[in-house]
Amino acid sequence: MAENLHLLMSGFAIVLQPLNFIWLTVGVVLGTMIGVLPGIGPISGVALLIPLTYNMNPVTALMTMSGLYYGAMYGGSTTSILLNVPGENSSVVTCLDGFQLAKKGRAGSALGISAIGSFVAGTIGVILLQFLAPPLGQWALAFGPAEYFSLMLLGLMSATTLNEGSASKGLMAVGLGLALGTIGIDLQTGTTRFTFGRLDLLDGIDFLVLALGLFSIAEVLWEATHREGAAERIKLNSPYPTWKDIKESAGAILRGSSLGFFLGVLPGVGASTASFVSYAVEKQISKNPDEFGKGALRGVAAPESANNGASEGALVSLLSLGLPGSGTTAVMLGALMMFGIQPGPMLIPKHPEIFWGIVASMYIGNVMLLILNLPLVPLFAKILDIPKQLLLPLIVVLSSIGVYALSNSRTDLEMMLFFGLCGILMRVYQIPTPPMILALVLGPMVEQSMRQALTISRGNWNTFVVHPISATLLVLALAFLLFPFLRRVAAQSRLKGVHRA
């Protein structure tokens, strides 16, 4: 332990060298900007940074890149909350309650809480990374296809909690999402499915295309066709979160942070899944689940902490095993190799300065991001003062840039508009959109891991229950499904009790 403390101190000494400090600042500022801009995510951000780092030493380069990575998680919530335009994949869920809060004039609280949540998650994440990286990496290895299947199924069950109103309409939305998720090349057979011979569909439909269509474009079309309220200006209640807000969301932040971190450690699970699951958990355990979707602060706090936690969790498997857990860390792996450093289990023993330099830079980077982001809150909240006739086209422009930036594809833009029209129809017929998006994210993972597991077990379905982790997750999934039902039963019997008395 004393040795670790010594190493951490030497890490701080590295970060506080003027040049390193400047580059770390550049990293987190760029990260915040990239987070705010929809579509341009941390993956392309880090890739753009690579040429700048050619002549740096590896520690400086890596701390700049990871600064950009977790910095992007801070910025991602801004447009979700203010405009219903998710800035990153991992901020899609933040739209659900964030935008409702903004409509009620509580944009300041929402933005502030997501900055504070990101900070807490970032700091918890780096503490866990510092002490637990190698054992956690081993823990991640316990997750094979069977465990992934059960985990993703649990995630999919949480889709039911995103639902409001009619259960059959919620299921319909899940079904639509699952169906969209089957489009593309099937990984297990190499066959193309539902692509109609179109190359653009071979990789499936990116969920940002669907999310921007269903949220942003549909919102614009809705506002544009419903003139009442056009003149109304949203009054900003308070530019910063109050103590009450912070107290209210503290639990959600802590839960979101740890859940996000542990899910982020697993390769391929990532920040978007973590944000969805943590939102669902919050709603599930809340005393007033009906508030969610109508402007619950905890519905912002949980996913925004979770995505930050996940981005640091993803660094665990990169640094301790050399196995990147996300697209961005995969790019960072390439960068490490460029410096002649082989990522792998030997990275920490052979290059302790890199690991401890990154850990120390994350403590400092998170403080910088909080200082940077809190003063920006009232500034960003001013966006809401823009008159609607100017704001709505702006939303369309931002969404289009975001979707086009994914892979420079016109088809993606056309699909976004199509989903925008679908979004309007779904709104008219009161079919909830979030379960559809979650199903698109998780559906392919559920399917692929199920088939991987069954190939390995030679078709034996026992595989999902004989593995303890998988079995536990399945029980949890079942509990998720039954929980709302049980609660209703409990509430009814309590009511009966009251009547009898």
Partner 1 sequence: MFRRSYHLALALLLVLILVASVTAGCAKKYPNKPITIIAPAGPGGGWDLTARSVSKVLADTKLVSVATTVENQAGGGGGVALANVVQNKKGDGYTLVVYSPPLILINLNGQSKFGYKDITPLARLTTDYQIIAVSAKSKYKTLKDVMDALKKDPKSLTVGGASAPGSMDHLSFMLAASKAGVNVKDVPYVSFPDGSQLMSNLISGKIDVASTGVGETLGQLEAKTVIGLAVTAPKRYTDPRLKDVPTLKESGIDVTFDVWRGIFGPPDMPADAKAYISKALENMVKSTNWKKDVLEKYNWIDAYLPGDQFKSFLDEQNKALGDLLKTLGLIK
Q: Does 446 bind partner 1 (CB under 8 A)?
A: no
Which of 62/110 has CB closer to partner 1? Answer: 62
The token pair at 223 is 């506002």
Provide the sign of the torsion angle of the four alpha carbons 296, 297, 302, 304, taken in this order.
positive
Which of 45/71 has CB closer to partner 1? Answer: 45
Provide, rounded to whole angstroms, the least separation between the CB of residue 312 and partner 1: 17
Which of 82/140 has CB closer to partner 1? Answer: 140
Q: How far apart (Å, rounded) are the C-alpha atoms in residues 380 and 76? A: 13
Which of 110/358 has CB closer to partner 1? Answer: 358
The amino acid that residue 138 corresponds to is: Q
Which of 116/331 has CB closer to partner 1? Answer: 331
What radius of gyration, in Å, describes the C-alpha atoms of the chain? 22
Using CB under 8 A, pick the residue from 9, 230, 346, 475 that binds partner 1.
346
Q: How far apart (Å, rounded) are the C-alpha atoms in residues 72 and 66? A: 10
The token pair at 399 is 């969404």
| Other CB atoms within 10 Å distance of the CB of residue 144 | 16
The token pair at 239 is 């530019």
Provide the sign of the torsion angle of the four alpha carbons 353, 317, 69, 106, taken in this order.
negative
Using CB under 8 A, pick the residue from 9, 13, 19, 187 that binds partner 1.
187
Using CB under 8 A, pick the residue from 371, 456, 478, 489 that binds partner 1.
456
Provide, rounded to whole angstroms, the least separation between the CB of residue 286 and partner 1: 34
The token pair at 255 is 């839960």
Distance, C-alpha 394 to centroid of its chain: 24
Number of residues that bind partner 1 (CB under 8 A): 54
Using CB under 8 A, pick the residue from 175, 452, 471, 481 that binds partner 1.
452
Provide, rounded to whole angstroms, the least separation between the CB of residue 144 and partner 1: 4
Site residues for partner 1, 125-144, by CB under 8 A, read: 140-144
Q: How far apart (Å, rounded) are the C-alpha atoms in residues 438 and 92? A: 10
Q: How far apart (Å, rounded) are the C-alpha atoms in residues 136 and 146? A: 19
Site residues for partner 1, 26-55, by CB under 8 A, read: 43-44, 46-47, 50-51, 54
Q: Does 293 bind partner 1 (CB under 8 A)?
A: no
Biggest CA pair distance of the chain: 79
CB within 8 A of 333, min separation 6: which ones? 318, 322, 324, 343
Q: Does 56 bind partner 1 (CB under 8 A)?
A: no
Report the Cα–Cα distance between both ends of the chain, in Å, rounded: 61
| Other CB atoms within 10 Å distance of the CB of residue 263 | 24
Site residues for partner 1, 400-439, by CB under 8 A, read: 407-409
Using CB under 8 A as the criterion, what x/- string covers residues 367-406 for binding partner 1? ----------------------------------------
Q: Does 462 bind partner 1 (CB under 8 A)?
A: no
Using CB under 8 A, pick the residue from 121, 347, 362, 426 that binds partner 1.
347
What is the DSSP annotation of 279-347? HHHHHHH-S-GGGTTS--THHHHHHHHHHHHHHHHHHHHHHHHS--SSHHHHHHHHHHHHTT---STTH
Provide, rounded to whole angstroms, the least separation between the CB of residue 345 and partner 1: 4
Using CB under 8 A, pick the residue from 268, 289, 352, 484 that binds partner 1.
268
Provide, rounded to whole angstroms, the least separation between the CB of residue 210 and partner 1: 17
- 213 close to 180: Cβ distance less than 8 angstroms: no
Site residues for partner 1, 305-334, by CB under 8 A, read: 317, 321-325, 327, 330-331, 333-334
Q: In the complex, which residues of this chain contact partner 1 (CB under 8 A)?
A: 43-44, 46-47, 50-51, 54, 140-145, 185-190, 192, 199-200, 202-203, 267-268, 317, 321-325, 327, 330-331, 333-334, 337-338, 340, 342-347, 407-409, 448, 452, 455-456, 458
